[in-house]
Each structure stands twice: as C-alpha cells, then as structure tokens.
Amino acid sequence: MIELSEVSKSFGDVVAISRLTMSVKPSSITGFLGPNGAGKSTTLKLIMGEIRQDAGTVSINGENPFNNAKLKNEIGYVSEHEDLYPWMKGKQFVESFGRLLLPREQAKVAAERAIKRVGLSAGDKRIGAYSKGMKQRLKVAAAITHNPSILILDEPFGGLDPLGRKNMKGLVSELNGDLGVTILISSHILYELDEMANRMIMIHRGQSLAEGTPEEILGLIDQFPHQILFQASYSELQKLSISLIQANLVNDLRFTNSGQSPDLIATTENPGKFYSHVTKIIAEKQIRIKHLESRTDNIEAIFEFLT
C-alpha cells in the first residue's frame, strides 16, 4: 500500500533521508523504529504528502501523495504532540475534524461513532480535564472520523502509564482487525510494538537498516548483550546476585552507587531466558526489589550495537 524507493530529502545542508527504501503492506500493522533524529518524522511527512522528496519515489496505492487531496482523505494521522484545545469538549473536537470532509449532520454522526469506537465515554467533558490516556484516545477518534484506509500513529505511547499503553495496544489491534485499517506506528521503543506489529522497519540516519517480522528483528537484537538495573537494599541484591549466578543467567554483575540504596547492573547474552526466569527467582526467593529496568530496551542502544 505504501512504497518508498531510493528516497532522499535534505533541508539545506542537513540530510534527513538518504536513499530510503521501505514498504507497508495493506491491512498490516507496521512498526517504524528509529532513534531521535533518524528521519522518522520526515518519512511520515513524505508519506502524508506534506513535503516532496528530492529524489526517488513515494507512492500510496501507486499514486504520488504530494498535493494529492484524494489520497490525503485516505489517511488518518495522530501526532506525537498534544495538539488539543483544553477549553473544547471532546465531542466538539472530533466533530470539527469530521466537518473538514463531511456535512455538519454527517460529521456529528461520524464523531459519535468514532468516539464510541475508541471506548471514550467522556465526550461531553472538556479536554482540559482528560487524562493522558483519554487524550490519546480522543486524537485517535479524530483521526478515524472520515474512515481512512491508512492510520499513521507518531509515538502514540508517549507519556502513557502501563494500563494506558495496554489499552492503546488493544485499540490499535481492534482498528486493524475489525476495520482492516493499514497502520504505521512510529516509535523509538521496540518492545512497545513487538506484540502488535506484523512487520517492523528499522531506520538509522535516514536509511533503512533492517526490515522483517517481529521475530526476525528480535532475533537480530537478541544477539547483543542486555543490561538490566535492579535497585534494592544491599542484602537483597546480594541474594539476587547469588541466585542469578546459580541459574547461569548472567555474564557479568556490577554494583554501583554503593550505600543505603545501591544499584546492581546485570549483563546477559540470553535476554529471552533471563526475562523468563528472573521474576520467578524474585518471587520464589522473596527478594524485595524496589525498582528494575532494562537499560538496553531503547532504540538508541540497539542501533549503537547494530551499526
């Protein structure tokens, strides 16, 4: 449905995209991954026809999207920015988008349908009183009011708590499964997309670095060492260290910030095995962990390794 072939785009002396080739299949959920400054936003603007490439071809269903009103009507877009009007009611906001393409009464019906579709029950409440998750759903509702065949989501999980992320993933899967909408999701966090996406495209410095199924991309990434940080009391971290070594889950263990609240950094070359066993160990040994996080689940760390 979406094809970019040998596409380049510069802004003055800054090369944003360089000979980028990528494709998005119809009715798929495609994850578009890259660190900040990789060229993701420029690529999305090219696909939406907001800007024109310097070289190469961009096409949607075989047509050039630049200055093509018909194709733009087929695209719904959810910005990464919170570009909402806090004084406006949610239903008004969605309806205003519908009226860009539809008569007043049709826009009203379409807005109500879209709000129901995203599971938002606060259409009569002012947007300023919405939670972050409600605002994200409202933006999706506005983007699907005109029943687009393509939905582009730019960092849709930004600022959401775990429940909000889960709900957003469910919503994206529903829109794809129930309506057959082709969805392109931009993100810099791989593990936000691996459960949803049929395919992933990794971009770095304006060029496609890898493309494949989530399993293929994760298999590629699992080749490099992962670091996991744990925070707890020193005695609890000692118990954890012994258990991790006995289970042969780590290649290296290192304590930092020695004191009342030290950090333990574990390095593993088998992240799949590590993540499947570490929570079981913590529960069985009753180790009281205050905080844990992966230090290499961000796209910057992945691309540093791959390049």
| pLDDT (tens digit per residue) in 190-248 | 767 877 899 999 888 888 888 888 888 777 766 677 888 898 888 899 999 999 999 99
- Per the CB < 8 A criterion, the answer to whether 2 and 184 are in contact is yes
Which residues lie closer than 8 Å to 291 by C-beta, 6 or more apart?
229, 230, 231
Q: Please state, in angstroms and rounded to a whole number, the distance separating the CA atoms of residues 242 and 114.
A: 53
Tokens encoding 234: 């020193």
pLDDT above 60 (res 301) = no
Q: Please state, in angstroms and rounded to a whole number, the distance separating the CA atoms of residues 72 and 146.
A: 11
Identify the three-state secondary structure at position 70. helix
Judge residue 91's burial from the number of C-beta atoms within 10 Å of its C-beta, 0-12 exposed, 13-18 middle, 19 or more buried: buried
Express each pLDDT in 28-51 by its tens digit: 999 998 877 888 989 999 999 999
Q: Which amino acid is at 22?
A: M
The shares of helix, strand and coil residues in the chain, as percent rounded to the nearest 5, are 35, 30, 35
Residue 203: how many CA atoms within 13 Å on its side-chain side?
31
- pLDDT-derived band at 88 (thresholds 50, 70, 90) equals very high
Count the Cβ atoms, other than its own, within 10 Å of residue 92. 15
Count the Cβ atoms, other than its own, within 10 Å of residue 44. 19
Q: How far is CA 102 from CA 24, 106, 113, 145, 196, in A?
A: 28, 6, 14, 10, 32
Identify the three-state secondary structure at position 87. coil
Residue 198: how many CA atoms within 13 Å on its side-chain side?
15
Q: How far is CA 256 from CA 245, 279, 298, in A?
A: 18, 22, 21
Identify the three-state secondary structure at position 65. coil
Tell me the average pLDDT of the chain. 86
Q: Which amino acid is at 203?
A: I
User: What's the order of all strands across the beta sheet hosting 207-212?
Assistant: 75-78, 150-154, 182-187, 29-33, 199-204, 207-212
- Local structure of residue 83 (DSSP, 8 states): -
Judge residue 195's burial from the number of C-beta atoms within 10 Å of its C-beta, 0-12 exposed, 13-18 middle, 19 or more buried: exposed
Q: Please state, in angstroms and rounded to a whole number, the distance separating the CA atoms of residues 223 and 54.
A: 36
- pLDDT given for residue 80 in this prediction: 86
Taking the model in full, what pTM does it have? Answer: 0.75
Q: Please state, in angstroms and rounded to a whole number, the distance separating the CA atoms of residues 232 and 288.
A: 7
- Local structure of residue 225 (DSSP, 8 states): -
DSSP 202-232: EEETTEEEEEE-HHHHHHHHTTS-EEEEEES
pLDDT above 70 (res 15) = yes
- Phi and psi dihedrals of 276, rounded to 5? -75, -20
pLDDT > 90 in the chain, percent = 42
Domains of the chain: 2-220 (3.40.50.300), 226-306 (3.30.70.120)
pLDDT above 70 (res 167) = yes
Q: Which amino acid is at 31?
A: G
